Amino acid sequence: MTRNDPDVSQSGTAFGVTLRSLRRAARLTLEGLSEASGVSVRALGDLERGRSRGPQRRTVDALAAALELDGGQRERLQRLADAGRGRGGPTTPPHLLRTVADFTGRERELADLEALATTAGSRAAVLFGPGGQGKTTLAAEAVRRLAGHFPDGCVGVRLHGMSESPLPATEALVLVLTALGHPPDRIPVDLAAREAVYRSTLASRRALIVLDDAADEERTRPLLPDAEGSFVLVTSRRPLAGLEGVRRIRLGGLSGRESATLLQRILGAPRTDGQSEAIARLTELCGHLPLALRIVGNRLSSRPGWTPSRLADQLGDEERRLSGLVAGDLAVRSALALSYGQLTVPHRLLLRRLALLPGPDTGPGLAAVLTGEDVWTTEDSLDVLVDRGLLEEPAPGRYGLHDLVRLFAREQLDEEETRSVGLRMADWLLRSASAAGRWFEAPGAPEPWPGEVPAFAPASADEAEAWLTAERPHWVGALPLMFEAGRHREILHTSRTLYWFSDRWDQWPEWQSLFSYGARSAAALGDRAAEAHQFNCLAWAHSFSYQYEQAEQLAERALALATEAGDVGQQAWAWAYLTGARMNLERPAEAEQAAENAIRLFEATGDTTGKAVAQRARGSALREAGRPEEALAIHRALLGARAGDVPDLDNYMRAILQHETALDLLALRRWPEAAEAYRAVTVPATHKGIDHLQARALSGLATALEHCGDLAEAHTHYTRAHALYTALGDTTSAAQTAAAIERTRPADAARHPRSTATR
């Protein structure tokens, strides 16, 4: 870069040009300003020509009063004066851009910036993201790496976008032009004329301009080039979507490995060796936010006696975490407060109340319940929060808070309002879940209860299922709020309407929470029959989690409650669940007796669905007791009968009976028939996700094929079954299939002659 006068600092010249512009805008001569401010004409001339350093505060105050400047103009003039006295100017030559020796990660972003800055046709990029992500640090590192591509120099300007008085474009142009060596006395006063001079200057050079902390499009657009040659890099908490012809790079958190590496570089090997677990925990508590990680590293560096584990324990308390993420003038809370302070009142309210959500993300429907606004207005507000870097959008139409932003929003909620809106949210969630669950209920399901805010009303089973799946963490998370408020009837109502839907996603761990709260609510209401029903549901849920001992205990509790209440139907279901638990606990004789009890009681109540379930279970118990012929006869007979009037149950029961029949044939060592029967097993589409039935069918088919001597196909199905068992958490079955995989590897086929098929 070149300068007209080596004795004139860039910052001092910028102050002078700005002062002259303000004087002319006020239509004052040097003499007039001198008279109004009390500053001598000679001193004013030296200031405007950049021949003196930045004036003292009292001089700036006198000039600001004489020029009748508003608060923002006064602050900006004072900043330039401070810079002139060596307090850190807004312009920065390339060798003064503050890089850090422990810079970590961001290789993809740096590669993208290099490609943009060195590619013909690219003139500007916006590096945006939430506060604390290290945008300025990354920009400094980019300048360090790219400086060789820009022989006419690099200039950095702080636009103070997050302050109460962001730098206007007209003043920023002065700073850049003076830094590029443009004669100060030739900088026009008019904004349009300044833009023209700026663009013509950039067109004849190859320079890199960094505009740090841009507030908005209006203050940034005049600083963009309109010709190739120079490149402008903008950092901002917002994407500045209104700017034309720029590329945007969103900056998110570091990866887990990058976060750990950054802490290790800050602390050094002696402090981190053998501390990998504690370091990993610290990175999680920091949410992989670079600012938080640097604060943690600096805190540990300043306390040699502290271990990473100690600080992790301290930050583990959510109530203290933001207070703990402070090191000197670095503070996560302060960074978030800057963004929060620039929001409108409705946007602040939405951000605060999003902290009430039990789950990690949500759609605009539930967010609208929190604010009382309509869905379309709420969706627009959510997008604003995304643009401001306070909200993340992990998937289209789904919005979530970063962990540290959630803690900040919760603090603001506690300071500015009560959490009574949380109960309204919980009420809406359970009523919506009940309305969705009715699409899968048997005839006669209870109607949803009315409420202050209309509940979500799905128009189809597919829409209902999509909502129940997407909002699962929320409606389950609403249960403790409703229980604490004594809303036991509503909890029980929700549990009943989701009873049959639970069959479609039988592996969800949340069923245990739902039915547990259902049982506690029924007990609080003194309804023993309802309590028995909920304990039966709990027994079912524990069975699908392979917790058979707990399932047996819960079914026994249900049986006792149902007997006390005189509820024969729930007694029957309790015996049915005892059948399954005892059979999985390898007590087939007791399981058969339990099944006979269930069949007898189901017949007494006319429950054909329950009777079919119990008959199927009795057949399974007979097979496990060494009577597979009887089991096969029962299961084949049931294949031709209807399971009852529950939607989709016939298809599901048919798949189970097909599987049971195949198991019976395996027990009878009728291998080819068993393989054929297994190929007929199809899990209906109404039962979603990774289903244990699929895994069992695959391993059963593989077993039959292995005994038929088809080791290659058996190996394929064992492998698929092992993957499903592993995903389901069924470690016992996973270990068994792993052994079978080794046994049937193609390389071992020569050691398994086909004669073994008759074993």
Distances 612 to 535, 582, 583, 694 between C-alpha atoms, Å: 21, 18, 17, 21
What CA–CA distance (Å, rounded) separates 547 from 206? Answer: 69
Residue 676 binned pLDDT confidence (cut-offs 50, 70, 90): very high
Does residue 551 have a pLDDT over 50? yes
SS3 state of residue 330: strand
Range in 46-50, 232-236, 260-264, 268-272 with the lowest mean pLDDT: 46-50
Residue 203 binned pLDDT confidence (cut-offs 50, 70, 90): confident
Six-digit token string for 684:
């209906």
* Model confidence pLDDT, tens digit, residues 99-150: 888 899 999 999 999 999 888 777 899 999 988 999 999 999 999 899 888 8
Compute how many other C-beta atoms are within 10 angstroms of the C-beta atom of residue 281. Answer: 18
- Residue 399 parent element (H or E): strand 398-400
Range in 221-230, 253-262, 637-646, 707-716 with the lowest mean pLDDT: 637-646
Q: Are 414 and 400 in contact (CB under 8 A)?
A: no
Q: Identify any residues that bridge with 154 across adjacent strands, giving them in sequence order.
A: 208
Q: Which residue has the tokens 């209006």?
A: 218
Residue 757 binned pLDDT confidence (cut-offs 50, 70, 90): very low
DSSP letters of 31-92?
Answer: HHHHHHH---HHHHHHHHTT-S-PPPHHHHHHHHHHHT--HHHHHHHHHHHHHHTTS--SEE
Q: Are 256 and 283 in contact (CB under 8 A)?
A: yes
pTM: 0.76
What CA–CA distance (Å, rounded) separates 556 from 262? Answer: 55
Six-digit token string for 329:
């003038």
What CA–CA distance (Å, rounded) separates 76 from 170? Answer: 12
What CA–CA distance (Å, rounded) separates 592 from 617? Answer: 8
> What confidence score (pLDDT) does residue 204 get?
82
What CA–CA distance (Å, rounded) separates 395 from 405? Answer: 18
Residue 614 binned pLDDT confidence (cut-offs 50, 70, 90): very high
Beta-sheet strand order (sheet of 392-395)? 361-362, 398-400, 392-395
> What confidence score (pLDDT) does residue 505 get?
86
Percentage of the chain beyond pLDDT 90 is: 55
Q: Which residue has the higher pLDDT, 127 or 205?
A: 127
Mean pLDDT estimate for the chain: 86
What type of residue sits at position 390? L
Residue 739 binned pLDDT confidence (cut-offs 50, 70, 90): very high
SS3 state of residue 248: strand
DSSP state letter for 419: S
- By the 10 Å C-beta count (0-12 exposed, 13-18 middle, 19+ buried), 480 is classed as middle
Pick from 611, 598, 594, 605: which is nearest to 649 by CA?
A: 611
Pick from 336, 272, 310: which is nearest to 102 by CA?
A: 272
What CA–CA distance (Å, rounded) separates 566 from 577? Answer: 18
Q: Are 552 and 589 in contact (CB under 8 A)?
A: no
Residue range 219-239: mean pLDDT, rounded: 90
